Chains A and B, each alone.
Chain A
Amino acid sequence: MELLSGNEACVQGALKAGVTFFAGYPITPSTEIAEEMAEELPRRGGLFVQMEDEIASICAMVGASASGAKSMTATSGPGYSLMQEGIGYACMAEVPCVIVNVMRGGPATGLPTRSAQADIMQARWGTHGDHPAVAIVPKNVMECFEMMALAVNVSERLRMPVSLLMDEIVAHMREIVNLPEKADVWQRPKLTTPVDNYVHFADDTNFDSALASFGEGYRIHLTGLTHRPDGFPTNDPKVIAWKMDRLARKITLNRSWLYDVVATDTKGADTVICSYGSIARSAQEARFAFMAQHPERRVGHIRLRMVWPFPQFKLVELLRGVRKLVVPEMNQGQLKHEFERAVSPDVEVVGVNRVDGEMLTPEEIMEAL
C-alpha cells in the first residue's frame, strides 16, 4: 500500500512493463515523471537522458526503440506539439514508443498548472499525413499504472506510437494504491528469419510481429520516406498505396481487441453520460445524485479508457435505445461529434464544457441531465 501521485504510478507502470529508456525534457505538469525516471532507471541499469528539447527527446526515444529498448517520453501540450513530427516518424518507420501527454490548458503556453482535456483531437491528427493513432486516458492513480503498462504493450504489439493522455488533475492527485507485483508484459517475438531472406516490412507482419532492431545483424534501413517492403524509398503508386493501407490496417485489423470502454447501467437507460479521464468521477457522482432526485430517470455511464481508435461499433451497440447523451469534457467539445455519430440523429447530444482550468463539477453535469 502506498500513497502515490498519478505521475508516480505512471512511472511504476512503465517500469513494470519493461521500459528501460527514457528521454525527456521537463515541462509542467509532467516533470515528476522525468525526475522519477532519473531516480529509477540508473539504479535498474536503464537509461535516462534529459535532452535539449522535446524534439530531441522524441528522436532519441525512437532511436533507442529502433535499437531494441522499450522507450517512453513524457511531456505536456507545448512539448506534445513539438513532438508531432517525431510521432509521425514513429508511425511511418513502425517503431514502438509511448508518449505520455499530461494535458494542461492551452493553446500555446496556456495554463501550465491547470488541467484540461484539450489535446484529444491532436492525439488523433496532430502529425501531418494519414496515420493511425492510439490514445489511452486514465481516470485515477491506479489507472495511470495500469494504462501505462497497457500503452507500452499496445505500442509494442502494433509497432506504432501510443499516446497516454493523462491530465494535470490525474497526474497530481494522490491516492492510496496497491500496485501489483507484476504487470502483463508483451515481449517482442524472437526473430528467426535468416538475414538474406529478411524483408523488414513483409506484408503479413504489421502487428504481433518479430521485427529486427539495429545491431542484431539484419542491417535494416529505416526512413521517414514512404517506402517499399524492404524499407527503401519508393515513388511507385502501387507500393505507396500498399504502405498507407498497411498503416491503416494496424487499427482496422485489430478492432476485436483494440478498444476499452467501461459501460455502467446502459441497458434500458434513457440518458447516458459519455466521459473520459478525471471527470469520470464527477460523472459518476452526478449520475447517482440525479437519479436520487429523479427516480423515474435511468442514467447510464460510458467511460472511454481508449479514446482512439474511437470505438464507434461498440458504442452503437451500447447506446441503442438511448434518447439523450451528455458529454462532459474539459475542452470545447472535441469528442462530442464522435459520440453523435454513434447514435441516430434524433438522439439529443448535449455537451458540458469547461475550459477555465477548474474541474467540471457533478452539479454542472446534473444540470445537463
Chain B
Amino acid sequence: MDYLRLDDRFPHILCPGCGIGTVMSAMIRAFIELKIDPNKLCVVSGIGCSSRVPGYLDCDTFHTLHGRAIPSASGVKLAKPEMEVVVMGGDGDMLAIGGNHFIHAARRNLKLTTIVVNNYNYGMTGGQFSPTTPQGARAKTAPCGNAERGFDVCELAKGAGAVFVARTTAYHVQQLKNLIKQAIQKKGFAVVEAIAQCPTLYGRMNRLGSAVKMLEAMRDGSIPVTSVKKPEDAVGKIVTGVLWNVDAPEYTEVYQGTMAKAQARQQENQK
C-alpha cells in the first residue's frame, strides 16, 4: 500500500481492535485519492498512541514533544509553505498539554490539517482521564468516576476560530476518508475529530465491550448533522459530518501581504 513504510516494525504497536489504526487507514486513503506527493507531505505528531502513526508513513514524518505537534507543524509549514502538512494527535496531546497551541493555531489560521483522534483517555500511559473523558466515566486516575466534564472538541475548535470543523467516528469509515480529504483541501486551519475505540483501556474500564461492540455503539449513538432538526435530536448523540465551514484569509497569504508592505516601507524610507 502506498504511503506505508512497510518494514520490520510492522505489525504496528497499536492494540488489537484499536480505532486509531482505522483512522490511519482512512487518512492514507485520503492521501491516495488526492494524489498527494509523498515527497511534499509532512505528517506531524506529538506523544501518544495516535502520535505513533506518522512513524509508519512513507513521507516526511515529525514525531515531536507531548502537546507540541501543532507549533512544530507551524514551523514546517511556515518554512516550506508548498508542503502539505498534516497533524495527527490524540485527545490528551492536542487538548490538554497542547490545548493552548490548538486554540492559537485555530486563531492564526495557518493551513494545517489537524486530525484529533479522540478515544476519551490517555491510552499510551495506561488509561488516565483526558480533557474529553465524560463526567462520571472511570479511568485509572479517576477510579470512582471522572469529576470533570469533557470538552466538546468541535465547539472548542469553532470558538477558537477554526475555519473547518468536522466530526466522525471509526465506524463511519467512508465519511472518515471524505472528511479528511475535505480538510486537506481547505485553505486554513481544518479540524477533524475522529472518535475511535480504545477497547483495551477506556472500553474495558467502562464495560463497553469489545472493539466490535464499541463500533456498534458509535453507529447507534451518532446522528448526521443534517438530520438534527432541533437541539433535542442531538442530546446524548455524537453529531457527525461537517459542522462548520467558513472562509478566512490563510496566514501565509496574509504574511505575503506583510512582506510586500515591509518592502514598500523600506523603499519609502530610503527615498
Contact = CB atoms under 8 A, between A and B. Distances in A.
Interface of A: 21, 23, 39, 42-43, 45, 47, 49, 51-53, 55-57, 59-69, 71, 85-86, 89, 214-225, 232-233
Interface string B16-60: 000000000000000000000011101010000000001100111
A223 B68 contact: no
By size class, the interface of chain B is 35 or more
Contacts of A60: 71-72, 74-75, 78
A64 B64 contact: no
A67 B64 contact: no
Interface of B: 5, 9, 38-40, 42, 44, 54-55, 58-65, 68, 71-76, 78-80, 82-83, 100-101, 104, 255, 258-259, 261-263, 265-266
Contacts of B80: 67-68, 214-215
6 contacts: A42-B262, A49-B74, A86-B68, A215-B40, A222-B64, A223-B63
Given A45-B259, A56-B71, A89-B64, A214 B83 contact: yes
Contacts of A62: 64, 72, 75
A215 B39 contact: yes
A221 to B, nearest CB: 5
Contact of A219 (B9, B58, B79, B266): B58
A221 B55 contact: yes
Contacts of B64: 59, 62-63, 89, 222, 224
Contacts, number: 134
Contact of A222 (B9, B61, B262): B61
Contacts of B59: 219
Given A42-B259, A219-B38, A232-B9, A59 B71 contact: yes
Contacts of B61: 219-222
Given A63-B73, A63-B79, A52 B101 contact: yes
B12 to A, nearest CB: 12
A39 B259 CA distance: 10
Contacts of A214: 42, 60, 62, 76, 80, 83
B75 A61 contact: yes
B78 A223 contact: no
A61 B54 CA distance: 20
A23 to B, nearest CB: 7
Given A66-B75, A219-B58, 12 more contacts: A42-B261, A51-B71, A52-B101, A57-B71, A59-B64, A60-B75, A219-B38, A219-B59, A219-B60, A221-B55, A221-B63, A222-B64
Contacts of B65: 59, 85-86, 89, 224
A215 B60 contact: yes
B263 A21 contact: no
Contact of B262 (A43, A51, A59, A64): A43
Contacts of A47: 78-79, 255
